[in-house]
A and B are shown apart, each in its own frame.
Chain A
Amino acid sequence: MNRDVIRTKIKTFLGKFFGEKGVESLGDDDNFFELGFVNSLFAMQLITFIESEFDVTIDVAELNMDNFNTLHKIVDTIDKKISQR
């Protein structure tokens, strides 16, 4: 699965949460804390989505917002996980 595909899927997911409008203009390195209030429910759903969509496992302890707060970082994290499978 290439990075563009991963990116598109994540963007679609974010759109469901924050509304498509904001996500459309979201750049790869924009912190999506700017999109709206990020709560733990969102974080939980993001983990669940990533795990089922890309067949990887993410430990709660790994979920530090520093690896998850931009599109770029999420794609990196998933990419790395997939290559370790």
Chain B
Amino acid sequence: MSKKTKKIKCVIWDLDNTLWDGVLVEDEEVTLKSYILDVMQELDHRGILQSISSKNNYEDAMMKLEAFGIKEYFLYPQISWSSKSQAVQEIIRCLNIGADTIAFIDDQHFERDEVKSAVPEVACFDACEVVNLLKKDMFNPDFITKDTMRRREMYQADYKRKKVEDAYQGPHEDFLASLDMHIHIAYARDSDLDRVIELTERTNQLNTTGYTYSYEQLKAMQNSDTHKLLIVGLDDKYGTYGKIGIILIDTRMDRWTLELFIMSCRVMSRGIGTILLNHIMEVAYRSNMALYAKFITTSKNKMMQLTYNLAGFKIFEKKDDYILMHNDFGHIQKMPDYVKLLSELEVYEDDQIRRKHG
């Protein structure tokens, strides 16, 4: 596994003399820099999110962005008189992504230093570097999938959900029920493989092993008797979340071993991970298959460890480079009422029958 450069997931723009020429509080007639729109649209197309950190009056700046017709490009814009580093940290919190995937662009040296000192992982650029931004490796995702291009749209739907969620009074379960969630689990098709790679490379928190695979390796596992490669999609009443999870099961040695289990952090508060694990347990149990899982502890995947523990996986054996866990099916929770689950993962015998009869 090669260590590649970290790819940027979000660009945070300053406004005055960065996005536009001029200073808004001094001059209402600021003009958008000539190349900005092209850069913004291309970033958007590459699935790189955009936000704002600017010292300005919120209403005035937003009105200006609207007048330029670019308001909808920005998620969680931070426009106030507080420090830029606070703004950057707030955006990181709202998007739930790593600080090392953020680029901050500001024409003022002082502001870049202030951000750097508070959040050293952030990549800072001077406004004059914007013209060359798109050529840089860290702004070039390895591939562009359907989910990549819709990323901003999906985050905007998340924002709507979050507002409703924050305002919701009452038990969390009732809130989840109000979403009308549909989960679908399917064997990965050719058209999914790029998204599988993207998820394995982008997901740090809800990732059990951190394993990554090449397209060829995935292709080999996809139609094999040795592995089951499944991809998970989620929809709710606000729209689609896209493909948000991967399940890779090694079926050799007459047992199921969860090689990889990944959930996008966008669905962290939806309880999807536990639901999927219980589904896998249920199917394994009915197929008379022992169920094991690999786990590699990192500084970021505590939540996943908890998810495995909660589902009843216990440490079975500590290997050199991973922990092998085992599930004795002591407590399989039944599917909660608040989701609908459609799954292609079937009981083993059905699988055999299907193979026989093609």
A residues touching B (Cβ–Cβ < 8 Å)?
16-19, 33, 36-44, 47, 60-61, 63-65
Is B223's CB within 8 Å of the partner chain A? Answer: no
CA distance A38 to B306 in the complex (A): 12
* Contact B310–A43 (Cβ < 8 Å): yes
* Contact B172–A64 (Cβ < 8 Å): no
Write out the residue numbers on chain B whose beta carbons fall within 8 Å of the beta carbon of A41.
172, 268-271
Also in contact, A37 and B336, with CB within 8 A (given A16-B171, A18-B171, A18-B173)? yes
Nearest-neighbour CB distance to chain A for B276, whole angstroms, equals 11
CA distance A38 to B271 in the complex (A): 8
Is B314's CB within 8 Å of the partner chain A? Answer: yes
Is B113's CB within 8 Å of the partner chain A? Answer: no
Apart from A17-B172, A40-B271, A43-B309, what are 8 other A-B pairs with CB-CB below 8 Å? A19-B173, A39-B273, A42-B172, A42-B271, A43-B310, A44-B306, A63-B309, A65-B331
28 example contacts (A-B, Cβ-Cβ < 8 A) are as follows A16-B171, A17-B171, A17-B172, A18-B171, A19-B170, A19-B171, A33-B331, A36-B173, A36-B336, A37-B274, A37-B335, A37-B338, A38-B333, A39-B273, A39-B274, A39-B310, A40-B273, A40-B306, A40-B310, A41-B172, A41-B268, A41-B271, A42-B172, A42-B271, A44-B303, A60-B302, A60-B305, A61-B309
Write out the residue numbers on chain A whose beta carbons fall within 8 Å of the beta carbon of B306.
40, 43-44, 47, 60, 63
Is B174's CB within 8 Å of the partner chain A? Answer: yes
Contact of B310 among A18, A19, A36, A38 (CB under 8 A): A38
Write out the residue numbers on chain B whose beta carbons fall within 8 Å of the beta carbon of A16.
171-172
* Contact B173–A64 (Cβ < 8 Å): no
Contact of A65 among B269, B305, B310 (CB under 8 A): B310
Give the residue name and chain of the B residue nearest to A14 (CB). B171
CA distance A38 to B278 in the complex (A): 11
CA distance A38 to B269 in the complex (A): 12
Nearest-neighbour CB distance to chain B for A13, whole angstroms, equals 12
Is B124's CB within 8 Å of the partner chain A? Answer: no
CA distance A22 to B310 in the complex (A): 21
Nearest-neighbour CB distance to chain A for B278, whole angstroms, equals 9
Is B245's CB within 8 Å of the partner chain A? Answer: no
* Contact B271–A39 (Cβ < 8 Å): yes
Give the 9 A-B residue pairs with the shortest CB-CB distance, closest first: A39-B271, A37-B336, A40-B307, A39-B274, A19-B171, A43-B310, A40-B306, A60-B305, A40-B310
CA distance A38 to B171 in the complex (A): 13
Nearest-neighbour CB distance to chain B for A39, whole angstroms, equals 3
* Contact A37–B309 (Cβ < 8 Å): no
Write out the residue numbers on chain B whose beta carbons fall within 8 Å of the beta carbon of A44.
303, 306
CA distance A18 to B170 in the complex (A): 9
* Contact B314–A64 (Cβ < 8 Å): yes
Is B312's CB within 8 Å of the partner chain A? Answer: yes
Give the residue name and chain of the A residue nearest to B173 (CB). A36
B residues 268-317 near A (Cβ < 8 Å) are 268-271, 273-275, 302-303, 305-307, 309-310, 312, 314
